[in-house]
């Protein structure tokens, strides 16, 4: 089984042009004493929208690694795959994010549920958490209700895991189980029993992505009560530590935070909790790399700005189509979207300030940013026009991509 390392980061790249800039942020972090394993992740949804192949993600990752002489581990993540989509990723990937969110809440067979309840009856009473005075009260109902909600999902994860092993011919890959793309958060107590179920199914899960409370919208700050999040996140870390000592699970099991980019208001509590409980973390920050490309293009004025404006105009007209697949992870208020005419009158500075996530800047518009976040399909349709602009404005874009990952993410999230 491969090891992911204590800290790791999902650095997706929609168009496969920024792997080097992304890796160079990780290298600079290493020089500062923060060791992070880079994971290039791209989901089936993204590949399908762009018409790209996982083999291309692998190619670009390998190339960046060679060119920058990276000697440490790195991975290519088949992000959010299921039974129907795993095939495509088997060869290129050595990290699989098994998405079972759709199986949550499907009632298991009575016999499986009964077995789950009796297997976990040993936890009835007060569950002590390592490194804390906190105790979680568990009764039979706690276990039964966790089983009703999550047992089918755990069994589904096992089916997918076994299929990957069969197709790959080995188990030499990282396993993540994700449940984040759903409406209801999982409580720390539920997380404990989910891990119990995954262990019973013999899934060597190394990262688990729960849905936390609050909104993790794409590319914008956390929406919710930071104090509630902090309490929940700390409890989740304790639960992870407890599960490692209780169940037959990999010792390097850790939490995975999806849609983790730009969650500035919770980075401090996350960093403090990681230190406090001495636990690892995987954080996925994929989508914002493409926004850094757009910011780079817009600030280059001329042709770059024209492309950025054309993408917005098209995105505005195709709002439903673009936002549909992302409805659980965006919150756009239409009345705050600038009109096409208005945006067409902007200069590069106004466009990039509206898009760049700097809450102190009065031009920043989170609705504009979220719409563009999900509009990479338009850039893909532009084909060469977009890709050759990425080349033309490479220097400026690389600087943005690297700085965004290093200064606005790594340094704020990971303890040094």
Confirm if 7 and 414 have CB atoms less than 8 A apart. yes
Q: How far is the CB of 78 from Zn ion (least distance, A)?
A: 12
Using CB under 5 A as the binding rule, whether residue 42 contacts Zn ion is answered as no
For residues 299 and 362, give the distance between their C-alpha atoms in angstroms, rounded to a whole number: 17
Q: How far is the CB of 128 from Zn ion (least distance, A)?
A: 31
For Zn ion, the closer of residues 149 and 258 by Cβ is: 258
Q: Residue 51: exposed, middle, or buried by beta-carbon count in 10 A (0-12, 13-18, 19+)?
A: exposed
| SS3 at position 299 | helix
Confirm if 311 and 368 have CB atoms less than 8 A apart. no
Using CB under 5 A as the binding rule, whether residue 357 contacts Zn ion is answered as no
CA geometry: angle at 177 spanning 256 and 36, to 5°?
35
For Zn ion, the closer of residues 149 and 282 by Cβ is: 282
Residue whose C-alpha is closest to residue 261's, from 76, 409, 406, 78: 409
Using CB under 5 A as the binding rule, whether residue 258 contacts Zn ion is answered as yes
For residues 212 and 215, give the distance between their C-alpha atoms in angstroms, rounded to a whole number: 8
Q: How far is the CB of 178 from Zn ion (least distance, A)?
A: 6
Which residues, numbered 166-205, are part of the site for Zn ion (CB under 5 A)? 180
Taking the CA of residue 320 as centre, how many other CA atoms within 13 Å lie in the half-sphere pointing to its CB? 0
Using CB under 5 A as the binding rule, whether residue 409 contacts Zn ion is answered as no
Using CB under 5 A as the binding rule, whether residue 47 contacts Zn ion is answered as no
User: If phi over 0 gives left and psi between -120 and 50 gives alpha, with beta otherwise, what is residue 51?
Assistant: left
Which residues, numbered 85-124, are part of the site for Zn ion (CB under 5 A)? none
Using CB under 5 A as the binding rule, whether residue 282 contacts Zn ion is answered as no
Q: Which stretch binds Zn ion (CB under 5 A): 8-16, 18-26, 257-265, 346-354?
A: 257-265
| SS3 at position 81 | strand
For Zn ion, the closer of residues 143 and 322 by Cβ is: 322
Size of the site for Zn ion (CB under 5 A): 2
For Zn ion, the closer of residues 219 and 304 by Cβ is: 219
Using CB under 5 A as the binding rule, whether residue 263 contacts Zn ion is answered as no
Strands 174-178 and 281-284: unpaired
For Zn ion, the closer of residues 77 and 292 by Cβ is: 77
Using CB under 5 A as the binding rule, whether residue 14 contacts Zn ion is answered as no
Q: Which stretch binds Zn ion (CB under 5 A): 251-259, 270-278, 292-300, 337-345?
A: 251-259
Residues in the site for Zn ion, rule: CB under 5 A? 180, 258
């Amino acid at each position: 089984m491969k090891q992911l390392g204590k800290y790791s980061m999902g650095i997706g790249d929609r168009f496969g042009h920024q792997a080097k800039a992304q890796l160079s942020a990780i290298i600079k972090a290493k020089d500062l004493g923060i060791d992070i394993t880079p994971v290039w992740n791209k989901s089936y949804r993204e590949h399908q929208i762009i018409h790209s192949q996982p083999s291309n993600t692998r190619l670009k990752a390998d190339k960046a690694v060679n060119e920058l002489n990276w000697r440490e581990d790195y991975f290519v993540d088949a992000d959010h795959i299921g039974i129907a989509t795993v095939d495509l990723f088997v060869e290129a990937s050595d990290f699989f994010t098994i998405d079972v969110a759709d199986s949550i809440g499907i009632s298991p067979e009575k016999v499986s549920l009964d077995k789950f309840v009796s297997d976990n009856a040993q936890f009835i009473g007060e569950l002590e958490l390592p490194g804390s005075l906190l105790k979680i009260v568990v009764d039979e109902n706690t276990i039964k209700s966790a089983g009703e909600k999550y047992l089918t999902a755990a069994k589904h994860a096992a089916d997918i895991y076994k299929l990957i092993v069969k197709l790959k011919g080995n188990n030499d890959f990282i396993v993540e189980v994700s449940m984040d793309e759903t409406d209801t958060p999982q409580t720390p107590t539920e997380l404990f029993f989910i891990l119990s179920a995954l262990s019973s199914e013999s899934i060597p899960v190394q990262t688990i992505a729960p849905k936390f409370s609050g909104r993790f919208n794409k590319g914008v700050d956390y929406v919710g009560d930071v104090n509630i999040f902090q309490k929940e996140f700390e409890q989740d870390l304790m639960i992870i530590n407890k599960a490692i000592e209780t169940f037959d699970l990999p010792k390097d099991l850790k939490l995975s935070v999806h849609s983790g980019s730009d969650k500035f208001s919770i980075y401090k509590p996350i960093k403090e909790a990681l230190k406090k409980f001495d636990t690892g973390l995987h954080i996925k920050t994929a989508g914002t790399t493409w926004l850094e490309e757009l910011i780079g293009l817009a600030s280059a004025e001329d042709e770059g700005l024209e492309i950025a404006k054309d993408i917005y105009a098209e995105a505005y007209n195709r709002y439903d189509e673009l936002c549909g697949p992302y409805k659980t992870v965006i919150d756009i208020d239409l009345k705050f979207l600038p009109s096409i005419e208005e945006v067409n009158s902007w200069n590069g500075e106004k466009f990039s300030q509206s898009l760049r996530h700097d809450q102190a800047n009065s031009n920043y518009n989170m609705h504009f940013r979220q719409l563009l976040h999900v509009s990479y399909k338009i850039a893909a349709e532009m084909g060469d026009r977009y890709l050759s602009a990425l080349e033309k404005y490479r220097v400026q874009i690389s600087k943005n991509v690297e700085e965004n990952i290093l200064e606005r993410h790594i340094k704020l999230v990971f303890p040094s």
